[in-house]
Chain A
Amino acid sequence: MTSFPAVLGLVAMLVATVAVGVFARRFARTTSDFLVAARAVRPTANAAAISGEYLSAASFLGIAGLVMKFGYDVLWYPVGYAAGYLVLLIFIAGPLRRFGAYTIPDFAEGRFDSPRFRRLAVALVIVVGLFYALPQMKAAGITVASAAGVPYAAGVAVTALVVVTIVVAGGMRGVTLVQAMQFAVKLFAITVPVFVLLVHFGTPGGLFAALAGHEAPAPPQPVVVHAAPGDEWQVTQAISVHLDHPTPVRLLPGARPPAVYVGAPQAPAPAGDGTATTLATATSLPAGRVRWEQGTDVRLPAGQPVPFGAQTPPSTTSSWLQPFGPLAGGSGQPLLFTYSLIVAILCGTMGLPHILVRFYTNPDARAARRTAWLVLVLVGLFYLWPPLYGVIGRLRAPQLYTGDLTDSVVLLLPRQVEPRMLGDALAAITAAGAFAAFAATLSGLLISLAGALGHDIYGRWLRPDASGPARSRAFRVSALGAGVAAALLGLLVENFDINVLVGWAFAIAASSFFPLLVLGIWWRGLTTAGAALGTAVGGGAATLAIVTTMLAAASPQLSEVLIRHPALAVVLAQPAIVTIPLAFAVMVGTSLARPDLPGGVAGKMLQLHIPDRLGLRRDYIPE
């Protein structure tokens, strides 16, 4: 379905992004400009840019979608994203800026005098960066697809093209300006429509009261949902529907077999079972599962419980409203699940390479701390609103459960506002905001991926004697390569939940870079071997756990093992609670067992902690 105003919103945002990016191009000449904007960005501008970059598609689209799907438990995501910034502020913002390196690999090498450690850090930056780029690509695909009625892949391709263009043209200098503008767009685009929606559909108190009246989500008006061939719906109680044309289906009794919910697509039940029949146009869907053998449009009646799509676990409103609802409760180990999620998000923020690199763009440590605090204020202001879209969505647009489209609720809900013109305008605004969200985060990721490839691998390892222009060229080529790789991988994740993908990037970052940074900054006794081993073990264990979880979604045998051992399933899907302590333990244990400290550790600690005004500090990489 094409929505002209939404396309307009997208195009406006696209033009603004390219225009600002190209305008900023004139400022970008040296490597320093590209990677750290010559370290001259003021706290206010920098905080807006960091917030712009941080508020990714996971924040703009994903939180609302996940709240709609799972209810209360999801609030831990936005709160954790904001709290992660507080952790970053209190433990590393100041010291890391004082140290004055470009990237995490620079820190790893500089603090520990080890070029080998740099290569390990580069590898992890690339893993985390790509993991984080996938959900942005998914958001790009669904946003452009839902607005313009083009295929998912086209949305991914267009977005990758735009983002690569601004990064290649402007580097960090240009991106700072673009991202600051995109923050303003996102805040506007999330708040204005939500206020109109509240005026339209009632106060938060009224919305929750209305929700409590429907144990099963039901549309207020009749709605039409498209069923694609192969789709499987879980019908919680028999409803009468109207089909486009008589359609062959298979009816399977009972509920879907239990599955570990991991946010990855669920393996379909084996084909061939169930009763084959052909449904007439006016018919009733019996309780149980319906597998569509042919595509058709299904008209769902008003006030009747909607079926749930294959990727959406059915939920009752009372469990949805409560702690340990379908998300944490569905895991079988609610408390463990909740705490592991909190830990991953709290500790993961500071390990995200594209966020950290921004702190080097502050002139000094004082500015870095103030910047981090301002970011906390700005993102806090933003995160108040997305959950409301999820609440209104459950009440007003439950057909999104049927189509597995909850990730699109921010884009689709405004279209329900009357009069039509107002609804269209709001849809244009949220589409523009979504574009700003994935474009800002993707450009930040490309900067850090290109930094890892062009600066760390090419500039420091392969060709340490390369000239300035050669370095800039390497950076641009790397940005292009990273953009293409992210787009290709992005094509694979159409059915994954945005926030679950993001959660994985956080878990890997939290288990590797978080212990490295905290101990590297605050403990002079950390040895090179300890730091490298802990980073590798933590990052490796988290990656392994997550890959196992993804495989379980495709493998019935593995999935069965996990269903029998819910605690194991939770720890594999949310590994941070185990892998962070593991990484700390390996770092401390190795360092204590063989305490051979890296050279010049006293000087390194001085660089990290000496107050700016004493004038003793030197940037690790001078201008």
Chain B
Amino acid sequence: MALEKEIPAGELRELEEQTPVGEIFLGALMRRQLALSLRVAATLVAALGVQPLVAWLWPAYGALRVFGVPLPWLVLGVGSYPLMIALGLYYVRHAETIDDEFSELLEPK
């Protein structure tokens, strides 16, 4: 959900004084950040967690080769790192955007 709908502009004081309104603002920020974190975590867990399952259900997976190297070794031992670095970059970008949007809404104009 867009933050604009939940938070009226210029309400930094509400946060600072920890009023119930301020808590609602903060709750909205936390929900957006947590949703982002859970999204990234779910991608990571799915990408890693599916590998043992594939090997278990389809034993031929272990015998596949690419340029002579067994495919499971390549997927896990090489492919994991670019994926994790990309996920991390995605997270940092979006987390900073969320923080910035929140700050812009609340900062005195």
Contacts and interface: CB of A to CB of B under 8 A. Distances in A.
Interface of A: 72, 75-76, 78-79, 82-83, 85-87, 89-91, 94, 203-206, 208-209, 321-324, 334-335, 338-339, 342, 346, 366, 369-370, 372-373, 376-377, 380-381, 383-384, 387, 522, 602-603, 605-606, 609-614, 616
B26 A86 contact: no
Nearest to A383: B81
Contact of B56 (A83, A209, A324): A324
Contact of B62 (A89, A322, A384): A322
A368 to B, nearest CB: 10
B89 A373 contact: yes
Interface in B55-93: 55-56, 59, 61-63, 65, 67-70, 72-73, 76-78, 80-82, 84-85, 87-89, 91-92
Interface of B: 12, 15-16, 18, 22-23, 26, 29-30, 33-34, 36-37, 40-41, 44, 48-49, 51-53, 55-56, 59, 61-63, 65, 67-70, 72-73, 76-78, 80-82, 84-85, 87-89, 91-92, 95-96, 99-100, 102-103, 106-107
Contacts of A75: 73, 76-77
Given A606-B15, A614-B103, A373 B92 contact: yes
Contact of B92 (A83, A89, A384): A89
Nearest to A325: B62
20 contacts: A79-B80, A82-B81, A90-B88, A206-B68, A208-B73, A321-B70, A323-B61, A335-B52, A339-B49, A380-B85, A383-B81, A602-B18, A609-B30, A610-B15, A610-B26, A610-B29, A611-B102, A611-B103, A613-B99, A614-B103
Contacts of B96: 366, 369
B15 A387 contact: no
A603 B18 contact: yes
Contacts of A602: 18, 22-23, 26
B37 A380 contact: no
Contacts of B91: 86, 89-90, 369, 373
7 A-B pairs closest in CB distance = A205-B68, A323-B55, A380-B81, A611-B99, A322-B62, A90-B37, A373-B88
Contacts of A613: 99-100, 103, 107
A204 B73 CA distance: 11
Nearest to A92: B37
Contact of A606 (B26, B61, B72): B26
A83 B52 CA distance: 16
